[in-house]
Amino acid sequence: MKKILRRSSFYLGLLLFTMFAVFPVIWMVITAFKQDGDLYNVANNPFIYNLPPTLKHITFLFTHSSFPTFLRNSAFIGVVVVIITLLLAVPAAYSLSRLVGHWGERSGIAVFLVYLIPPTLLFIPLYQIVSFLRATNTVWALILVYPTITVPFCTWLLLGFFKSMPRELEESALIDGCSRWQSFLRIALPLAAPGIATCIVFAFALSISDYIYAAVFVSSTAARTVSAGVPTELIRGDIYFWQSLMAAAAIVSIPLAVAYGLLFDRLVKGFQS
Amino acid sequence: MATLELRGLKKYYGNTHAVDGIDAAIAEGEFLAILGPSGCGKSTTMRMIAGLEAPSAGEVLIGGKSVTHLPPRARNVSMVFQSYALYPHMSVLENIAFPLKARGVPRTERDAKIKWASAMLGIEPLLQRKPGRLSGGEKQKVALARSLVRDPALFIFDEPLSSLDAQVRTMARSELRLLHDRTGVTTVYVTHDQIEALGMGDRIAIMQHGRVRQLGTPQQLYDQPADTFVAGFLGSPPMNLLQRGGRIIGIRPEHLLPAPPGTTDDQSFELQVRIKRLEFLGTDWLIYGLLETGAQGQKVLSKVSPGIAATLQEGALQTFRVERMCLRFFDPATGSRVDDGPR
Amino acid sequence: MARADTEVRVSLGDREGLLGTLMLAPAFLYIAALVGIPFFLAIALSLSSATIGDPHIHGFVGLANFAHAMHESAFPIALRNSIIVTCATLILTLVLATAESELLVRDFRGKWLWQILLILPWAMPVSLAAVDWLWLLDSEFSPLDWLLRQAHLLGPGTPWGPANHLYYYGREWLGLGAITMINVWRLLPLATIIVLAGRTAIPREIFEQAQVDGAGFFRVLFRITIPALLPLLVVAGMFTALLVFGDMTVVALTTRGGPGYATQLLPYWAYLKGIEGGALSEGAAVALFMFPVLLAGAVLALRMAYRADSN
């Protein structure tokens, strides 16, 4: 009896937390398929379809808005940022964990602190740098600045990864005839593959998520990302295209959530080191 | 195969002297065991020989040539790590092939070598497996094959048996020594287990606080320990060290035997001991006693056969006798042996 | 038999110190160029008279920008609001994260699915999350208002009536509450993950021992769990605080600081002044007001890290 009580209170707690997390998302998904007549009637129960659901607003999103452009820009920026991030963060993390002595191994928190410097502190001088480089209103402005967010984060993540890898494996490679560089390429790098995969997901997600830089550095629709483009394009003055807004948000967020969710345990481990 | 020589080898980490001046010369084909408690500097010494750690001072010579400033790969040493350090993302075959590939050995020669090494260790059936699916003993053999396959000048073993089960360990010990005899490669074997060192080494270097306390054959070390540290470290249980007058007397427990009183002669030395406890060890009995003559209250240990043990009683006062030639004498101030026996 | 490896040449790849420096250099230089320099540029800007129209730093005006910013009526409000929102989010997030980690430390069926659902708010781009909440708390069509009306808590003749709507973003305290709620919602997953990292590291035996000793749930929680979690609670708190304090996206897309300046926050005000208003230098000055708080957080974090290392 006590056991049942315990179990049910456990699931009740879990359910409450989950409801808090997903209620806004459920509301978002419900809205995306509603007809105008249904949505804008205060008397209606907002949680059910009083009129049959419609795909009209999703079609609108893809055919009559710049959403496809935003998606393309976000994807392009994401891919390039991921590549830059890996090229910078993987060698840096390996160097800190193995090659530059004790202070390197302990630099984890310091590296993460760089990630925590908020864009709001930096966006004004960065805006000047970007305009100095004549990169405003192009995707390259964002490609230039996003690694300031992703490199510290991924270096920190990989630092923990390399530190947890047994040193003897690389030392064994050194004795077996590799130079330090070769042992990094042939032993450490393949073994860090799960960590690198995690970095790819996060670098991509972080570059999609940014709003401030995207809003400040880019004002032309052609170069906008999803994060900055959706709120500006689909909110015109007082007119809100709610269903399309919600559909756009859902289309971007749900795949990201799945990727994050599958990496949940790895993140927990990342904070243990 | 090659000789190995260490000249004044030192390693400091800040103010800690991990290795504090080691000189040693190891002959071609010799099996040297480095023995010592944890933190004695034996691992650091080994890592400097392998090139994984740069010495603060001193030189390492392999085959007469200084390798002090060469990276590990240029020293032609091979090493079996305590954890075996098998590459988890490669199959057993790829693991064994790795040192050959890294050195650019041609394919046909490579295949022949792998075949030879895996046959020697009897691991042909395992070649396609991943290391994660091997037992401890199998991993050890794969690690051996990987270090064997490229004719190293020097073998380094870092406690290679410590992660094996007790039953497998005895077998592995003799197999390892036989392998050495067959290949004849100069070997440095680091261990904290004196049974391994005594049983396998041609010579043993006993280390403490970053220095070699004694370097010699197992018999020399056991019979003529250079100082109280070696005397108190080797043997199980180790030598009784008794304060007597201005000297420390060392008596091996197996030399300290009960005797009927009044049978003293010039050749032996007697002690009155209160027996505290008798402990059965299988083949032997261990006797825990307290000294009642000389420096009273000192603890002494004696190891006797079951037949003798049957005549003893806990709590009884018993005379123990040692042959005088089995006594060793040490200077209490320096710990060094001071009798005139051979060193 | 023995092959003398005289042919091995010592190359760059063997020299660990140099290799380490070279591998670290690109990331380090990049961060120095695009985080370090902008940071000092921010300081220089805040002491100058630069505007969007004339962005060069030549006119040195000392602390005039700071003085000017502080005398505007919006500044004390924005500062107060930033502190209130940060503190409220911090407390709520830590309490909830501790509770949630207590649930997630167990194993149960379909855990991965729950994890996906629970992590969702953090995975969403902040701007889209803010738009979602903008609609969820819409002045006219909020489903929460509808639920409250159904429960007869809202509307004519009810405790919160007589209006049919709460106008979340149109009132000072409801607006700040909404902003706090959105921040708690989006940062709870991150805080939970951090706390959970500490929670799973506590050995089971300690809890079993406590159970054998007859300690009740709350005793175990306050005497064992929370003290053991403390280091990571501080880390989680620091992350939460810095991410909330530095964020302008939520306020920019929901209340927009309104009504008036009632829900203005420091970073958004810096944005409004510096970019929208064109006074780069004053914007930088406002942004720099956040720095002491951030620095305090950083020092605290480094101390914690140092203490964790020495243990």
**pLDDT for position C302:** 62
**pLDDT for position C2:** 40
CA distance C109 to chain B (A): 28
Q: How many other β-carbons are positioned within 10 Å of the β-carbon of residue C28?
A: 18
Q: Tell me: the pLDDT tens digits for C155-181?
A: 777 777 677 777 777 777 888 888 999
The overall longest dimension of chain B from CA atoms, in Å, is 78
Q: Which amino acid is at A28?
A: M
Mean pLDDT within B279-286: 89
- The reported pTM is 0.81
Taking the domains of chain B in order of start, what are their residue ranges? 4-223, 248-337
For residue C4, is it within any domain? no
- The CATH number of whichever domain residue C148 belongs to comes to 1.10.3720.10
CB contact under 8 A, B63 and C2: yes
Describe the crossing of helices C74-104 and C226-245 by its angle, rounded to 10 degrees: 140
Interstrand relation of B240-244 and B4-13 (parallel, antiparallel or unpaired): unpaired
For residue C20, is it within any domain? no
The residues of chain C scoring below 70 in pLDDT are 1-10, 52-59, 62, 161, 293, 297-298, 301-302, 304-311
Q: Which residue of C lies nearest to A10 if distances are taken between CA atoms?
A: C103
CA distance B255 to chain A (A): 44
Q: Give bridge partners of residue C60 from the DSSP assignment.
A: C48
Q: What is the DSSP letter of B73?
A: G
- A17 pLDDT more than 80: yes
CA distance C36 to C274: 20
CB A266 within 8 A of CB A194: yes
**pLDDT for position A169:** 92
CA distance B162 to A114: 43
Interface test with C, best of A30, A120, A155 (most C CBs within 10 A): A120
B4-223 CATH fold: Rossmann fold (3.40.50)
Q: Tell me: the pLDDT tens digits for C264-280?
A: 888 888 888 777 777 77
Q: Give the mean pLDDT of chain A.
A: 85
> In A230-261, which positions are buried (b, 16+ CB within 10 angstroms) versus exposed (e)?
bbbbbbeeeebbbbbbbbbbbbbbbebbebbb
**pLDDT for position C72:** 78
Interface test with A, best of C21, C105, C135 (most A CBs within 10 A): C135
CB contact under 8 A, B1 and C1: yes
CA distance A228 to A214: 6
State whether residue B102 sits within 8 Å of chain C by CB. no
Mean pLDDT within A184-195: 89
**pLDDT for position B110:** 92
For residue C213, is it within any domain? yes
- Number of domains making up chain C: 1
For residue C133, is it within any domain? yes
Q: Whole domain around residue C300: which residue ranges?
A: 67-310
Q: Tell me: the pLDDT tens digits for B139-172?
A: 988 998 998 888 888 999 998 888 788 888 888 8
Mean pLDDT within B270-296: 86
Taking the domains of chain A in order of start, what are their residue ranges? 66-234+251-272
Whole-complex ipTM: 0.83
Q: Which of C14, C200, C294 sits opposite A179 (nearest CB)?
A: C14
State whether residue B74 sits within 8 Å of chain C by CB. yes
Mean pLDDT within B23-29: 92
CB B148 within 8 A of CB B183: yes
CA distance C298 to B179: 58
The DSSP H or E segment spanning B221 is helix B218-223
The domain A66-234+251-272 belongs to what CATH superfamily? MetI-like (1.10.3720.10)
The separation between CA C25 and the C-alpha centre of its own chain, rounded to angstroms, equals 29
CB A208 within 8 A of CB A76: no
Q: Tell me: the pLDDT tens digits for B70-81?
A: 888 888 899 999
CA distance B4 to B25: 6
- Contacting subunits of A (3+ beta carbon pairs below 8 A): B, C
Q: Tell me: the pLDDT tens digits for C79-88?
A: 888 889 999 9
Q: Give the mean pLDDT of chain B.
A: 88
Give the DSSP letter string of C38-103: HHHHHHHHHTB---SSS-----B-TTHHHHHHHHSTHHHHHHHHHHHHHHHHHHHHHHHHHHHHHH
CA-wise closest residue to C239 among C38, C78, C86: C86
State whether residue C3 sits within 8 Å of chain B by CB. yes
State whether residue C166 sits within 8 Å of chain A by CB. no
- Contacting subunits of C (3+ beta carbon pairs below 8 A): A, B
Q: Which is more confident, A151 or C274? A: A151
B248-337 CATH fold: OB fold (Dihydrolipoamide Acetyltransferase, E2P) (2.40.50)
- A-chain CB neighbours of B81 within 8 Å are 168, 171-172
Q: Tell me: the pLDDT tens digits for A229-272?
A: 888 888 777 778 888 888 888 888 888 888 888 888 877 876 77
**pLDDT for position C169:** 75
Q: Which residue of B lies nearest to A168 if distances are taken between CA atoms?
A: B85
- B194 pLDDT more than 80: yes
Q: Which of C2, C5, C14 sits opposite B1 (nearest CB)?
A: C2
Interface test with A, best of C21, C35, C302 (most A CBs within 10 A): C35
CB contact under 8 A, B153 and C14: no
CA distance A41 to A35: 10
**pLDDT for position C306:** 60
Interstrand relation of B247-251 and B328-330 (parallel, antiparallel or unpaired): antiparallel
CB contact under 8 A, B73 and A166: no
**pLDDT for position C311:** 47
Q: Which residue of B lies nearest to C15 if distances are taken between CA atoms?
A: B71
Q: What tokens were used for C48?
A: 């100058």
- B-chain CB neighbours of C1 within 8 Å are 1, 151
- Contacting subunits of B (3+ beta carbon pairs below 8 A): A, C
Q: Which residue of C lies nearest to A183 if distances are taken between CA atoms?
A: C13
Q: Tell me: the pLDDT tens digits for A24-67?
A: 998 888 888 888 887 787 777 778 788 888 888 888 888 888 88
- C-chain CB neighbours of A21 within 8 Å are 117-121, 185, 188-189
Q: What tokens were used for C226?
A: 């929370």
CA distance A252 to A222: 18
The DSSP H or E segment spanning C243 is helix C226-245
**Percentage of chain A with pLDDT > 70?**
97
- A-chain CB neighbours of B77 within 8 Å are 175
Q: Which of C15, C122, C136 sits opposite A260 (nearest CB)?
A: C122
Q: Which is more confident, B66 or B294? A: B66
Mean pLDDT within A205-228: 86
